[in-house]
Amino acid sequence: MNDSVEIAKPVKRGGFFRTVRAVLWSFIGIRKSSGFQEDIATIKPLHILAVGVGAAFIFVIGLIVLVNLVVAS
């Protein structure tokens, strides 16, 4: 009998910069399926939500600043 026991590899946790990179890829809308699956396995949904809200806020503030610069000149 071959009683082999599979040893589970520890799952890497997604860091802050990995989460930011995943959110920025989603803003662009281009992502490899393998990278997407890896992000799903390593990044917590709460972290994605927090970084996404922060990135959207920065994007909106940047647009407001850009419009004010264009209108002022």
* CB-neighbour burial class of residue 46 (10 A; exposed 0-12, middle 13-18, buried 19+): exposed
Residue 5 lies inside a defined structural domain of this protein: no
| pLDDT higher than 70, residue 1 | no
6 within domain boundaries = no
Number of H helices, E strands in the chain: 3, 0
Q: Is 26 within the bounds of a domain? A: yes
- Which pLDDT score, from 0 to 100, does residue 26 have? 85
| pLDDT over threshold 70, residue 7 | no
* Domain limits for position 25: 16-72
Domain-located, residue 65: yes
Entry pTM: 0.68
What's the confidence (pLDDT) of residue 56?
94
Whether 51 contacts 20, CB under 8 Å: yes
Domain assignment of residue 39, yes or no = yes
Could you read off the pLDDT of 27-70 as tens digits, one per residue? 888 878 888 888 888 889 899 999 999 999 999 999 999 999 99
Angle CA(16)–CA(27)–CA(59) in degrees, nearest 5?
85
Split into its structural domains, the chain has a count of 1
Residue 67 located in a structural domain? yes
